[in-house]
Amino acid sequence: MTQVLDRPAELTAPSSPAERTARRKALLEWIAVHSLGVAAALFFTLPFVFVFLTSLMSDSQALSRDLVPHTWEWANYRKVFDTPGFLTWWKNTLVYAGLGTVLTVVSSVPVAYALAKFRFRGRNLTLMLVISMMMLPPQVVVIPMYLFWAKQLDLSGTLWPMIIPLAFGDAFSIFLLRQFLLTIPNEYLDAAKVDGCGDLRTLLKVVLPMARPGIAAVALFQFFAAWNDYFGPQIYASENPNAWTLSYALESFKGAHHTDWNLTMAATVLVMAPVILVFFFAQKAFVEGVTLTGVKG
C-alpha cells in the first residue's frame, strides 16, 4: 500500500487566503477521516481483545466484571489442550478441511475450465445450475442425504458424509474458478493447441500454472468452509465425539465446563487463531477471491 500523506505542502511561499482555507479544509478532513477510522478499528478489534484477555483470567475473575486479568493464567491454554478429545477434534478438523480441500480443487478445476473455455450447448444452463446450487441452503436436501449416509451406507458418526461429496465438484469453487479462468486470454490456449497439446495437457501445463492464484483462493475458502462448518458435523458426527470437529466441539466445550468463560474463551481463541494466522500469509488470495465473486459478472 502506498502511503500518500494528504497534508498540504509546507514549503510553499506565503499563500493566498483561498489556498490557506483549502489547506485547512484538507487537514480537517484528514483528521475527521482518521478519527472515524480509529473508532471503526476499535469496534472491529475490541471483541478480539476482550476474548483474549478473558482467556487469561482465573476461573473466579472470569465471572466478575473485570476487563483485565489480575494474574495472567497462561495455564488455561494448557487446560484446553488437556481436555479429553481436544487433540482428536483438532485432527478431525484437519482431515476434513485438508482432504476436502484437495478433493474440491481436483474435481472443480476441470468443470470450471469447461465452463469458462469450452463452447457447448447447455453451457449457460449448466452455469446457472452451478450458481443455484451455490445459493442452496444445505438444509434443503439434508433429510434424504442423512438417510442415505446413515441408513443405507451406515456412515454416520464419521467424517465421510462430509468429505465424499467434495470429490464431485463444489458449486462455489467451480464458480470462483470459472470467474478466474475467464481472465486468462484464449490466445494462450490456442497457442498450446497449435503446438499440439490435447485438452488435458493444455489444462495441466498451460492453464493450471496461470490459475494458481485462483486455485489458492478456492483452496483457502474451502479449507475454512470445512474449518467453520457446524451443520455438517452436527448432522453426521454428533453421536460420536471421536468424529467431532473443532467448530462443532467448541460449543459443547462450554457445556463440559459449565460457565468457565475463561477456558471457553481460550478454546475460542484456539479455533480463531489458525484462520487469522493463515490470513496474514495469504491476504492477497482472500481479497482476490472476495472481489472475483462479487465484482466481476
Q: Is 211 in the site for another protein (CB under 8 A)?
A: no
In the shown chain, the binding pattern of residues 141 to 180 toward another protein, with x for contact by CB under 8 A and - for none, equals: xxxxxxxx--x-------------x-xxx----x------
In a 10 Å sphere around its CB, with 0-12 CB exposed, 13-18 middle and 19+ buried, how is residue 222 labelled? buried
Q: Binding of another protein at residue 234 (CB under 8 A)?
A: yes
Most distant CA atoms of the chain, gap in Å: 86
Give the number of other CB atoms < 10 A from CB of residue 214.
26
Q: Using CA atoms, how far apart are residues 70 and 254, in angstroms rounded to an integer?
A: 23
What distance in Å separates the CA atoms of residue 31 and residue 228, rounded to the nearest whole number? 39
Q: Which of 12, 16, 71, 139 binds another protein (CB under 8 A)?
A: 139
Cell numbers for 160, please give them: 465421510
27 vs 75 by CB, closer to another protein: 27
Residue 291 binding another protein, by CB under 8 A? yes
Half-sphere exposure of 145 toward its Cβ, with a 13 Å CA cutoff?
14
Q: Are 215 and 204 in contact (CB under 8 A)?
A: no
What is the SS3 assignment for 158?
A: coil
Give whichever of 13 and 69 is closer to another protein, judged by the CB atom. Answer: 69
Which residues in 45-74 contact another protein (CB under 8 A)?
45, 47-48, 50-51, 54, 62-65, 67
Q: Residues near 270 by Cβ (< 8 Å), separated by ≥ 6?
A: 77, 80, 246
Residue 190 touches another protein, criterion: CB under 8 A: no
> Among 129, 153, 191, 204, which residue interacts with another protein (rule: CB under 8 A)?
129
CA dist 14 and 19 (Å) reads 10
Identify which of residues 87 and 128 has a Cβ nearer to another protein in the complex: 128
Minimum distance from residue 241 beta carbon to another protein (Å) = 9
Rule CB under 8 A: say whether 279 interacts with another protein: yes
Q: Under rule CB under 8 A, which residues in 72-91 are in contact with another protein?
A: none
Q: Is the Cβ of residue 37 or residue 185 nearer to another protein in the bound state?
A: 37
Cell of residue 219, nine digits: 483452496
Question: How far is 253 from 270, CA to CA, in rounded Å?
Answer: 12
Nearer to another protein, 215 or 250 (CB): 250
Residue from the set 108, 156, 202, 222 that interacts with another protein by CB under 8 A? 108
Site for another protein in 13-32 (CB under 8 A): 29-30
Confirm or reject binding of residue 186 to another protein (CB under 8 A): no
